[in-house]
Structure 1
Amino acid sequence: MFLLLSLIFLFVPLCPTVRHSLKYFYTASSGVPNFPEFVVVGLVDDVQIVHYDSNTQRAEPKQDWMEKVTADDPQYWEKETQRFLGDQLVFKDSIETLKKLFSQTGGVHTYQNMYGCEWDDETGDTDGINQFGYDGEDFIAFDLRTKTWIAPIPQAVITKHKWEREAGTNERWKNYLTQECIDWLKKYLDYGRSTLLRTELPSVSLLQKTPSSPVTCHASGFYPNKIMLFWMRDGEELYEDVDHGEILHNHDGTFQKSVELDVSSVKPEDWGRYSCVFQLSGVNEDIVTKLDPDVIKTNWGRTEIKPIHVFVVKNVLIMGFLCVYRA
């Protein structure tokens, strides 16, 4: 499901590198009270850098370091404003066309576009994405390799055929996603180096609601969000009786994540075999927290809470767990 306001990060394994991204999210809406008809949000490494909406009709920086861009181009923000104004008109017309295509009249409707690029700063690998959604469902997506459009629903087939006849436009999209977008991403990373390229380790806590509840390993305050958080038993990663939470934003720009372990079938004498491991991409040391009932924070009457003891293990000691996850 294509949703702008619910950015769900799906993680797949890769060996430790840092993969950066520049993405723009457009949302045109119809019939939504007290909400702009058109909104643009730009993100670098999931940090918002620009905002535009049809109420203000101005492209505005969302990070102080984005002001540096005017040193290279004094007209940058005016150009961005004019670009988004043009996109606003196109998307307003498009949502009316889509309503007719789906035989709709009134009601609440949204038309969304997510596009951008990714760059691996170690391997140099790049990737790009350009996809559209209507009313929360996938509508059409650009295939960067073939420069064609993928239509997952019948209503999008007409659009697919129309856009594929525009060979010049598709070539420009490929050039933007594989070259121009990457160039801009590198510029923004340089402007925001002190913020975007920093590394912050989290505090790690063990939490339990009731004596029969799962034990939650909670890591908060880390940056960037290229991490692994998992439970181990006897030095091997656990996949059963484990429930992974999503990576969430903290108010200070850092992230938090939790992973639960069902301990209902774990014998008391076996608790020492379990530990929670936090790994951060680019950091050669892991935070390992032993499953110890004396350090678990609870809300069910434990009178003495001892400080959590964590110890660090060199990656070389756990070669099987050198991979991190990327968005």
Structure 2
Amino acid sequence: MQLLLALFFLLGIPSGAPDIHSLKHFYTGVSQVPNFPEFVIVGLMDELQVEHYDSNTRRYVPKQDWANRMTEDDPTYWDRYTQIARGTQQWFKGNIEILKQRLNQTGGVHILQLVYGCEWDDETDEVNGFHQFGYDGEDFISLDLKTQTWIPLVPQAVISKEQWDKNKAWLDQQKHYLTQECPEWLKKFLEFGRSSLMRKDLPSVSLLQKTPSSPLTCHATGFYPDRADLFWKKDEEELHEDVVKGEMLPNHDGSFQMSVDLDLSGLKDEDWGRYSCVFHLAGGQEVSKRLDKRDIRTNWKTNDGGFPTGAAAGGVVAALLLLTGCIMGLIVCLKKPPQASETSSSSGEDPAMKKGSSEEQSMLKPLHEGRVQRGSSH
């Protein structure tokens, strides 16, 4: 449970609205977690994974074909950041030990994470940057760009704030990267991957029911991107009672699926036509399906031992879709935990690999020139 909490603590970073694009990089370092890489880096462009590194493969690689275009202007891009990632891996390992000492911890599972990046509104040109650390599944410390100060999110982070706030030059660098350089990289990724990143696919929507007494499931699959919602309405008003919303899951082809259940136990026959399931995709596109008994797919048997017309195939297909989504969701959790990467160092040099005093190597300094600017010592 602690691992799962740690892997998802950063999901509160706001995702883009229809006209907002985001570039996020996540780092995760772990200690004593079996069957999980010691260190992982993931870069997301509009929530789509574009870059990856882990301590098992020890290679920084593109995850989209179009991301290979990063070498058009910089042929050494992937090799250089492979070397940087390897150095960062050691930095995380050492700083987990420092944190354990600070918090009087001994053995057990421990996880240190960092997320940083920016959002850009392509209509208003507004930019929002973020830079935040987490430890053992809890937010630890976050940068406030408006005041250019660090905000401790737990009492143990106060010492970090006190030291980091003194380094004004570094804070200026942070602001410059998050508000100037990061949006430039974001626009570059957007240009390279426009056909994928600007893709919008509406789903197929089905009504599914295991038995006549089971809740009715509205299932939408095949949509993209994941900035979407699915809900039940009655007389054009969204329902919140007697409704259970499922988790959004990825499909094997990169699209997504989700479902929402409606309790039919108190529903009168004459009221069925007043209900509808609505899928809403970012940007305003919708698919609506009116509640109709003839459209319900199920695999329950009738009195004569057969199946209702068209029900068996629909039920089996739906079950397979849900199973596939669950498997893919598990793979995402194991292969793509919230982590970060870098892609913007002008010099390609990793300060974490420079030699320095013990003060220089103290805990929770951001890691790289450019993408992740350097912090002051503790």
**Contact 1:4–1:25 (CA<8 Å) still a contact in 2?**
no
- Paired residue for 1:286? 286
Q: Calculate percent identity across the aligned residue pairs.
A: 57
Aligned to 2:58, the other structure's residue is in SS state coil
**Contact 1:18–1:226 (CA<8 Å) still a contact in 2?**
no
Distance 2:15 2:183 in 1: 23
Aligned to 2:125, the other structure's residue is in SS state coil
- Paired residue for 2:88? 87
Aligned to 2:7, the other structure's residue is in SS state coil
**Contact 1:111–1:134 (CA<8 Å) still a contact in 2?**
yes
Distance 1:196 1:109 in 2: 35
The alpha-carbon deviation at position 123 of structure 1 amounts to: 2.8
Residues 102-117 of structure 1: pairs in structure 2 closer than 5 A = 102-117=103-118
* Structure with more of its chain in strand, by fraction: 1
- Paired residue for 1:296? 296
Aligned to 1:199, the other structure's residue is in SS state coil
* CA distances 1:76-112 after superposition (whole Å, capped 9, x unpaired): 1123223323322322221111010111122221111
Distance 1:165 1:12, change over 3 A: closer
Distance 2:14 2:120 in 1: 16
- Paired residue for 2:47? 46
**Contact 2:225–2:256 (CA<8 Å) still a contact in 1?**
yes
**Contact 1:17–1:122 (CA<8 Å) still a contact in 2?**
no
- Paired residue for 2:310? 305
**Contact 1:233–1:274 (CA<8 Å) still a contact in 2?**
yes
Distance 1:257 1:169, change over 3 A: same
**Contact 2:118–2:129 (CA<8 Å) still a contact in 1?**
yes
Distance 1:174 1:278 in 2: 39
**Contact 2:201–2:225 (CA<8 Å) still a contact in 1?**
yes
Distance 1:187 1:202, change over 3 A: same
- Paired residue for 2:178? 177
* Alpha-carbon RMSD: 2.5
* CA distances 1:44-81 after superposition (whole Å, capped 9, x unpaired): 12211111123333211111111111112112112322
- Paired residue for 2:133? 132
- Paired residue for 2:7? 5
Distance 1:27 1:60, change over 3 A: same
The alpha-carbon deviation at position 13 of structure 1 amounts to: 11
Distance 2:12 2:96 in 1: 29
Distance 2:262 2:10 in 1: 22
Pick 1 or 2: higher relative contact order, CA cutoff 8 A, min separation 6: 2
Distance 1:12 1:305, change over 3 A: farther
The alpha-carbon deviation at position 255 of structure 1 amounts to: 1.0
- Paired residue for 1:274? 275
The alpha-carbon deviation at position 213 of structure 1 amounts to: 2.2
**Contact 1:203–1:220 (CA<8 Å) still a contact in 2?**
yes
Residues 11-90 of structure 1: pairs in structure 2 closer than 5 A = 17-90=18-91
- Paired residue for 1:141? 142
Aligned to 2:232, the other structure's residue is in SS state strand
Farther-moved stretch of structure 1 (144-153 vs 93-102): 144-153
Distance 1:60 1:124 in 2: 30
Gaps of 5+ in 1: 309-327
Aligned length: 306
Distance 1:279 1:87 in 2: 41
**Contact 2:139–2:153 (CA<8 Å) still a contact in 1?**
yes
TM-score when scaled to structure 1? Answer: 0.85
* CA distances 1:243-281 after superposition (whole Å, capped 9, x unpaired): 222322111111111122222211111000001111222
Farther-moved stretch of structure 1 (64-73 vs 28-37): 28-37
Distance 2:45 2:192 in 1: 11
Distance 1:190 1:119, change over 3 A: same
The amino acid that maps onto 1:223 is Y
The alpha-carbon deviation at position 41 of structure 1 amounts to: 0.9
Aligned to 2:72, the other structure's residue is in SS state helix
The alpha-carbon deviation at position 128 of structure 1 amounts to: 2.0
- Paired residue for 1:222? 223
TM-score when scaled to structure 2? Answer: 0.75
Distance 2:47 2:197 in 1: 10
Aligned to 2:133, the other structure's residue is in SS state strand
Aligned to 1:158, the other structure's residue is in SS state helix
The alpha-carbon deviation at position 11 of structure 1 amounts to: 11
Aligned to 1:257, the other structure's residue is in SS state strand
Farther-moved stretch of structure 1 (259-268 vs 91-100): 259-268
Distance 1:36 1:203 in 2: 37
* CA distances 1:286-311 after superposition (whole Å, capped 9, x unpaired): 21101111111123225113799xxx
Gaps of 5+ in 2: 302-306, 315-378
The alpha-carbon deviation at position 150 of structure 1 amounts to: 1.7
The amino acid that maps onto 1:305 is G
Distance 2:108 2:19 in 1: 43
**Contact 2:27–2:115 (CA<8 Å) still a contact in 1?**
yes
**Contact 1:295–1:305 (CA<8 Å) still a contact in 2?**
no
Distance 1:260 1:10 in 2: 25
The alpha-carbon deviation at position 7 of structure 1 amounts to: 7.6
